[in-house]
Amino acid sequence: MPINTYHRFLTWVGIVGAATTFVGATLAEPPPGAAPATVPVLAPVATLASATASADALPLDDLRTFAEVYERIKDDYVEGVKDKILLESAIRGMLSGLDPHSSYLDKDEYREIQVGTTGEFGGLGIEVGIDDGFVKVISPIDDTPAQRAGLQAGDLITHIDDKPVKGLALNEAVNLMRGKPGTEIRLTIMRGTEGRPLEVKVLREIIHVASVKSRTLEPGFGYVRLTHFQARTTEDMRTAIEALKKENNREIKGLILDLRNNPGGVLNAAVGVSDAFITDGLIMYTQGRQPDSKLQFKAGPDDVLGGAPLVVLVNGGSASASEIVAGALQDHKRALIMGTQTFGKGSVQTIVPIDDTTALKLTTARYYTPSGRSIQAQGIAPDVVLERGEFKPNQEPEVGPVKESDLRRHLDAPPPAGDAKSGDDKKTLATEDFQLGEALNVLKGLTILGRAKGDGSAH
């Protein structure tokens, strides 16, 4: 390889080193393909001198091999390739070889990550990542085309409109799934419970994500669902709980916090949601190689439920920020975690701008629960394992035992006192969402237990 090409390559490395000396705010990044965390705040943290010093320590033999491959492609590839394309591909390759969450952000991707916390974007309403070369569904977002089409967490997308996705970069697959609202897309998926591929048709639309939903399940028992962690999630959740208190004469006997299929989002929102129920101590911390990647978050003195029992529902689609909340509440013994093992996304991504239009998304730290448990690749194990199921009421036999009501001239039952609909509501809840119905039963048991102890707590 010509010496001048090698020297030109080393010069290019030095330029890149100098260009990446600005770092953004540390983010709690969701699973691959999920909505991004926050707009980065630029702050200079290094100098050209430090970049040059690091270049002196570069492995020259390996760089020489790289430069030789680069030159061979330039000279012998069947078609001419621009330097910009080759160098950008090299950067993408370096980052993709690290972990599933580190990546290069081009102009469009960088702009998207800067506006990703607004709660509005176009597409199918599906959080995705890469698994063995296929696009894996992390979770469908509530009230979106993906959920209505029946997509489930864990589904593997093998084809998009008959085009194989094997070997495509995640951003390439995502771009194929995007399109004009109102247009249809066909996805071929593999599902663990099915023995053959399934074809799902989804109609694209503008996605508006409301991160907090709430309702009263039964008098005194509230339900709050968090679909995503956005900048306003903590504030919206507190507002929703206040509304539930007003509906129930200022008394909340217990609350179910539903984090199923919540792929994560903004770190500060996860900390704020945890802080709403914890009155003291550590919520979570991060650890990395650089000093500014070591962070601790502690709880304030208030509890929005006043110590009332709390049940948290999780599943394999609960990731990142959801796992922070579940882990913190579990370690503090503030809530009973029910459901299935969570996703296990416990790493922190930092946005590192290269220039005004491009950036790196680089994994810089790991999350830890207050007790020091790492979430990464392990997830949060529920206190009570509750698999997905289906509730089917027993059917009455055609010929059953004789009852009082079957006797001639029997006395009629007196009219029921109070609200007679609670039994029907419970049956309906168990039928429409088995896990939620079981969680409500457990929550009632915790309330009775707390009442027997005389403190009303869930401990």
SS3 238: helix
Is 331 a residue of the active site?
A: yes
Angle at 372 between CA 280 and CA 113, to 5 degrees: 85
Q: Of the residues 139, 211, 274, 320, which is catalytic?
A: 320
Q: What is the DSSP string of 78-100?
A: SS---HHHHHHHHHHHHHHTT-T
Distance CA 451, CA 459 (A): 11
Distance CA 305, CA 329 (A): 13
Bridge partners (DSSP) listed for residue 359: 105, 353
* Token pair of 16 as six digits: 């890149």
Q: Cβ contacts of residue 176 below 8 Å, gap of 6+?
A: 160, 161, 163, 165, 168
Is 345 a residue of the active site?
A: yes
Report yes or no: 155 and 192 within 8 Å, Cβ to Cβ: no
Bridge partners (DSSP) listed for residue 286: 295, 367
Q: Of the residues 102, 136, 214, 345, which is catalytic?
A: 345
Q: Of the residues 142, 258, 331, 433, which is catalytic?
A: 331
* Token pair of 65 as six digits: 């091999």
Distance CA 441, CA 79 (A): 66
Report yes or no: 20 and 360 within 8 Å, Cβ to Cβ: yes
| Torsions phi, psi for 147 (to 5 deg) | -70, -45
Report yes or no: 226 and 258 within 8 Å, Cβ to Cβ: yes
CA distances from 282 to 325, 328, 379, 382 (A): 12, 8, 19, 20
* Torsional class of 25: left (φ above 0), alpha (ψ -120 to 50), beta (otherwise): beta
Q: Which residues are catalytic?
A: 320, 331, 345
